[in-house]
A and B are shown apart, each in its own frame.
Chain A
Amino acid sequence: MENRPQIDEKLKNEVSKQGIVVTSLQEIYNWGRRNSIWPMQFGLACCAIEMIAAAASRYDMARFGSEVFRSSPRQADLMIVAGTVTKKMAPLVVRLYNQMADPKYVIAMGACAISGGPFKDGYNVLKGIDRYIPVDVYISGCPPRPEALLHALIELQHKIDGQQLTGRSRAEFLDPEQPSEFPIPALGKHDLEPPANTALFRPPSIKRD
């Protein structure tokens, strides 16, 4: 943050012991945002079962403020891509992402959502949802345990906490230059067209003999 006066952490702790709370607008704004992330209620495969388990009483996602699963993308902050994204489903997932209001976040849950997982060499599964929409947190696992999803949620909370509201390095959703919607792939004759959003997806290329 360029010109924002920093609060001295030591001083802040000292005065908080005396019952005085010092904060900044950014801190309290992000604190509010990160503690009520509303996920979208949709699942694609077996990972969704673990997501349901994470939301239910035993793992209790409500402890982290994310118990309100919304059935409409318009009301959701977080898209948990829980499961295998088939090529037939991919345009719909991108459309749902586009329908969400900013600020919006994506967790790619499990091997399939990250890379296609065990179906990577098949003909009908998208090889990672990050080909079409930006992903904030990836969780490995097949499927990931509910603890892993909670860990991903905590990581996302850390990310939200670190987002700045003003200045040059402000969060993407506050930058009008940054896109908030991404082109929806078409169902082509042989594959999705285009097979990836090249502006977004740049896989590492390795040199081979």
Chain B
Amino acid sequence: MNPIEQIKARLEANLPEATINLVPNPSPAGQPSLAVDNVHAVAIATFLRDELQFDYCSNVTGVDWLDRVVSSKEKITKVVDGKEVVVEETKEQKFSGYLEAVYHLYSVAQKQGPVIIRTRTVDRAENAILPSLTPVFRSAELQEREIFDLYGVRFAGHPDMRRILMWDGFTDHPMRKDYEEPDDYEYEPTPHGDVLEKAKRHYVEEQS
């Protein structure tokens, strides 16, 4: 049993009503994380801090997951004209988008970490609310403000929920994947890739 599973087991033993899912990470980093439910996130963070001595929240970041359709192919045997034929069928599965806040916790006392916990919003619009872990880890304060600024996640229980990088009158959230930046484009001598597409759009608009 590796440490994250031990931690998950201890959390579940002490907070039986909380839902904690292990999110595997197939990348070379191989750092699995714990997706925790929003109602018990503060209790889980407090337990991690006080009982398991994860006393240091080094990093808080946001992730934007758009609505996506995953298509998978399945081989199904069908009876066509009295014969069994193997047919490939594509199945489409729809996932609605959501926003995530990811916390990296370390234990200075035990020289251990990181334990990664994630909280997920219901959707990407009006219900983009997450519980703030600033009352548990003070170091999350500015980074949660940054997530609010760039991703538009509102943190309930945060002492000072304001924009931090962009100005207060700004209404967009630039780190969202569907963010459209303003067309303040100008002369670019050698555009290529995305910039070339942007340049083409700009010059079409300028001519019309």
- Residues of chain A whose beta carbon lies under 8 Å from any beta carbon of chain B: 87-88, 121, 123-124, 127-128, 187-192, 195-196, 203-208
**Contact assessment for B179 and A123 in the assembled complex, using a CB-CB cutoff below 8 Å:** yes
**Contact assessment for B200 and A195 in the assembled complex, using a CB-CB cutoff below 8 Å:** no
In the complex, whether B174 has a CB less than 8 A from a CB of chain A is yes
**Contact assessment for A205 and B171 in the assembled complex, using a CB-CB cutoff below 8 Å:** no
**Residue of A with least CB distance to B184:** A195
Task: Scan B145-156; emit 1 where CB is below 8 A from any A CB, else 0.
Answer: 000000000000
**Contact assessment for B169 and A188 in the assembled complex, using a CB-CB cutoff below 8 Å:** yes
**Contact assessment for A205 and B187 in the assembled complex, using a CB-CB cutoff below 8 Å:** yes
Residues in B whose Cβ lies below 8 Å from that of A204: 187
**Contact assessment for A123 and B187 in the assembled complex, using a CB-CB cutoff below 8 Å:** no
Q: Could you give 15 example pairs across A and B, Cβ below 8 Å?
A: A88-B165, A88-B166, A121-B198, A123-B174, A123-B179, A123-B181, A127-B184, A187-B170, A189-B170, A190-B170, A203-B187, A205-B203, A206-B203, A208-B199, A208-B200
User: Contacts A188-B169, A205-B206 given; 5 further ones with Cβ under 8 A?
Assistant: A123-B172, A124-B166, A189-B169, A190-B172, A203-B186
In the complex, whether B195 has a CB less than 8 A from a CB of chain A is yes
Residues in A whose Cβ lies below 8 Å from that of B170: 187, 189-190
Instruction: Find A191's partner among B179, B184, B200 (CB 8 Å cutoff).
Output: B184
Whole-angstrom distance from the CB of B92 to the nearest CB of chain A? 33
A208 to B191, CA, bound (A): 11
**Residue of B with least CB distance to A91:** B167
Knowing A205-B187, A205-B206, say if A187 contacts B195 (CB, 8 Å).
no
Whole-angstrom distance from the CB of A187 to the nearest CB of chain B? 4
**Residue of A with least CB distance to B185:** A127
In the complex, whether B30 has a CB less than 8 A from a CB of chain A is no
In the complex, whether B182 has a CB less than 8 A from a CB of chain A is yes
Whole-angstrom distance from the CB of A162 to the nearest CB of chain B? 28
Knowing A121-B195, A123-B174, say if A190 contacts B186 (CB, 8 Å).
no
- Residues of chain B whose beta carbon lies under 8 Å from any beta carbon of chain A: 165-167, 169-172, 174, 179, 181-182, 184, 186-187, 194-195, 198-200, 203, 206
**Residue of A with least CB distance to B168:** A187
A77 to B72, CA, bound (A): 67
**Contact assessment for B165 and A191 in the assembled complex, using a CB-CB cutoff below 8 Å:** no
Residues in B whose Cβ lies below 8 Å from that of A190: 170-172, 182
A101 to B166, CA, bound (A): 31
A207 to B187, CA, bound (A): 11
**Residue of B with least CB distance to A209:** B200
**Contact assessment for A196 and B167 in the assembled complex, using a CB-CB cutoff below 8 Å:** no
In this complex, the member of B179, B181, B194, B200 whose beta carbon has the largest number of chain A beta carbons within 10 angstroms is B181
Residues in A whose Cβ lies below 8 Å from that of B203: 205-208
Residues in A whose Cβ lies below 8 Å from that of B200: 208
**Contact assessment for B169 and A187 in the assembled complex, using a CB-CB cutoff below 8 Å:** yes
A58 to B128, CA, bound (A): 54
**Residue of A with least CB distance to B167:** A187
**Contact assessment for A124 and B165 in the assembled complex, using a CB-CB cutoff below 8 Å:** yes
Residues in A whose Cβ lies below 8 Å from that of B199: 208
Q: Which 3 A-B pairs have the closest CB atoms?
A: A191-B182, A195-B184, A203-B186
A189 to B169, CA, bound (A): 6
A97 to B172, CA, bound (A): 29
